[in-house]
A and B are shown apart, each in its own frame.
Chain A
Amino acid sequence: MSDGGEISHPDVLIRELIADPERPATLEEVAKILEHVAQAPFNTRRIDVTPVLVGREFLGKRLGAREDSLTVHLAHRVLANEQWSNTTTKEEFLRDIERAVLHPNAALAVYETRRTNYAAVVAPNVVPRSRLGRQPGKLMVVPYSANRGRIVSAWQARNEENLLVPERARWIKPLKEFRNFES
């Protein structure tokens, strides 16, 4: 929080909470970070498509060697991971991400690695049953880069045991709150 009592920009807040592990986060600050992440754009950079997916048809076109990040991530989730159905559009995928981040039981971790500050949101899976793939997860994971102000990925996870969020990550809003939720 700034000296004037106003809440800092969420990306600044994330940096402050990482830099000072003793600094408490208020409920308002947590809510502000989550609202900011929910509205953040998805990474727009063009990235490599996994070789096994190059040439596969997806959303009405053949995947090239490089595509925009949103296309690549959704193609993976649909074709390789079978988490979302093949009818899922980019807009629906983004809406699922937003709903997950804003879920009342969403957990929030912050950490720094490779000179970048991240917020990682882990939430109950909110994807409508009609758009689930054949290998859905109980959770949704949404990592956000506070340096670049964008969501860098999103996926469904079967359980929290397999998550690779660094051990030193600071859980501002902890996982235990939804440990026993039902899918």
Chain B
Amino acid sequence: MDQTTKGIQELRELIEGQLAFGKASWERLPEVEAEIDNWDPEDAEVFILEWSIEEDRLDYLEEYRDRGAMTEEQAARYADLKELVAKNRAIIERLSDR
């Protein structure tokens, strides 16, 4: 395998992981909203503060898509993720309005 092919494969593996982690995080928001008032207050605050990492993840994924680094299947899953984000964004806005 030449270096270019290896680089593309590694990047697609990275994208694969980021799509999975992003989906899991955004899917979990309704459950978090229902439970967060029962959490340790410190855990709740850390969760909200760290959410910026999820926004950064989306920015990275957007870049990968724009660079044409995603497979067609990954691009379709990224589109699904953006729909999920649009659906659940209000939750994180409510949680961060603390």
Contacts and interface: CB of A to CB of B under 8 A. Distances in A.
A166 B56 contact: no
A124 B40 CA distance: 30
A166 B46 CA distance: 12
Contacts of A135: 14, 18, 56-57, 60
A54 interface: no
A43 B41 CA distance: 14
Main secondary structure of the interface of A (DSSP, over half): loop
Contacts of B96: 164, 166
A88 interface: no
A113 B50 contact: no
A159 B45 CA distance: 20
Interface residues of B, number: 25
A56 to B, nearest CB: 11
Given A80-B21, A82-B14, A164 B43 contact: no
B46 A162 contact: no
Interface in B29-75: 41-46, 48-53, 55-57, 59-60
Main secondary structure of the interface of B (DSSP, over half): helix
A163 B43 contact: no
The interface size bin for chain A is: 20 to 34
B24 interface: yes
Contacts of B53: 81, 155, 157
A47 B20 contact: no
A159 B49 CA distance: 14
Interface of B: 14, 17-18, 20-21, 24, 41-46, 48-53, 55-57, 59-60, 96, 98
Interface of A: 43, 47, 50-52, 80-82, 113-116, 118, 120, 134-135, 137, 141, 143, 145, 148, 152-153, 155, 157-159, 162-166
Given A157-B56, A165-B49, 12 more contacts: A43-B42, A47-B43, A50-B24, A80-B17, A82-B17, A116-B42, A135-B57, A141-B52, A143-B49, A157-B52, A158-B60, A159-B56
- Return the 9 tightest CB-CB contacts between A and B, nearest first: A114-B41, A162-B55, A162-B52, A158-B56, A153-B46, A80-B21, A113-B98, A164-B96, A164-B52
5 contacts: A47-B43, A51-B24, A81-B57, A143-B46, A155-B50
